[in-house]
């Protein structure tokens, strides 16, 4: 059995951290209102006096054509295309744990496609870490001393005044690195890209709703007449 420690992946760490933050934001929410037929729900948190606050209120709407829309006091997100029935739509997103990949893909479809800056954003810190890791891997096997000195100096210089966008980072690196090492820039188009917070919060709202509906489904039915006035 291998005793090597697990490989640290900053993107996985970022994903896990964002999921935990979003889940925590809805941990005390309850179903405040619902539409007939299960086509819409309003989630809200109670104050200490029993009234509801509008802070982080979430509206979940199950539309026709397999679309699931989440809005309210959070940035809105539409997920497409899922099951045709409302309960199936809620379970489809609410029970999925792959937010950074699957859930983001469905949000991308519902929000007009990838690369529009709505469901994804660029994380400067993660981008810098990725370039540093790439440089370490690239220069790990030197055939002769100083083989990668110019590449290392060029990359380090660019990262010392980290650009504000991926496009700027790629342009500055392409201009700086030696021509014989241009392969360093292969598959550079997703460096630093992460799922936007709005997707995590929308997913977490649907997740909470799904759990609440599961609790309702598992709640035993009361005998006829129980709870009625005498």
Tracing tokens 């519902």 back to the chain, one arrives at: 110
- The string of pLDDT tens digits covering residues 30-86 is 999 998 777 999 999 999 999 999 999 999 999 877 899 999 999 999 999 898 889
CA distances from 141 to 131, 132, 135, 146, 184 (A): 17, 16, 11, 11, 14
pLDDT number for residue 220 = 64
pLDDT number for residue 218 = 76
Give the chain's residues under pLDDT 50. 1-3, 5, 224-230
φ and ψ at residue 111, rounded to 5 degrees: -110, 15
Tracing tokens 């291998």 back to the chain, one arrives at: 2
Q: Which residues, in sequence order, are CB contacts of 147 under 8 Å at separation 6+?
A: 139
On whether the CB atoms of residues 59 and 45 are closer than 8 A, the answer is no
Cα separation of 28 and 92, whole Å? 22
- Start-end of H helices in 7-79: 10-25
Q: Which of 127, 131, 97 is nearest to 194 (CA)?
A: 127
pLDDT number for residue 105 = 94
**In 3-state terms, what secondary structure has residue 98?**
coil
pLDDT number for residue 117 = 78
What angle (nearest 5°) sits at the alpha carbon of residue 38, between those of residues 119 and 218?
100
pLDDT number for residue 114 = 65
pLDDT number for residue 115 = 61
């Amino acid at each position: 059995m291998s005793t090597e420690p697990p490989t640290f992946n900053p993107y996985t760490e970022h994903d896990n951290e964002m999921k935990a933050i979003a889940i925590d934001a809805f941990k005390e929410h309850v179903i405040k209102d619902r539409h007939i037929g299960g086509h819409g729900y309003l989630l809200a948190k109670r104050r200490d006096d029993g009234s509801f606050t509008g802070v982080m209120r979430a509206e979940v709407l199950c539309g026709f054509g397999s679309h699931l829309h989440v809005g309210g006091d959070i940035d809105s997100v539409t997920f497409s295309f899922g099951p045709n029935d409302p309960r199936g739509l809620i379970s489809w997103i609410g029970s999925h744990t792959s937010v950074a990949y699957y859930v983001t893909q469905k949000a991308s479809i519902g929000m007009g496609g990838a690369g529009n800056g709505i469901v994804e954003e660029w994380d400067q810190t993660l981008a810098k870490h990725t370039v540093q890791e790439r440089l370490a891997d690239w220069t790990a096997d030197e055939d002769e001393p100083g083989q990668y000195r110019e590449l290392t100096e060029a990359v380090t210089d660019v990262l010392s005044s980290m650009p504000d966008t991926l496009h700027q980072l790629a342009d500055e690196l392409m201009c700086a690195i030696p021509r014989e090492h241009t392969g360093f820039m292969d598959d550079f188009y997703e460096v630093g890209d992460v799922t936007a917070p709005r997707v995590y919060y929308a997913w977490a709202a649907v997740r909470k709703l799904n759990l609440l509906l599961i609790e309702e489904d598992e709640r035993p039915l009361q005998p006829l007449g129980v709870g009625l006035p005498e």
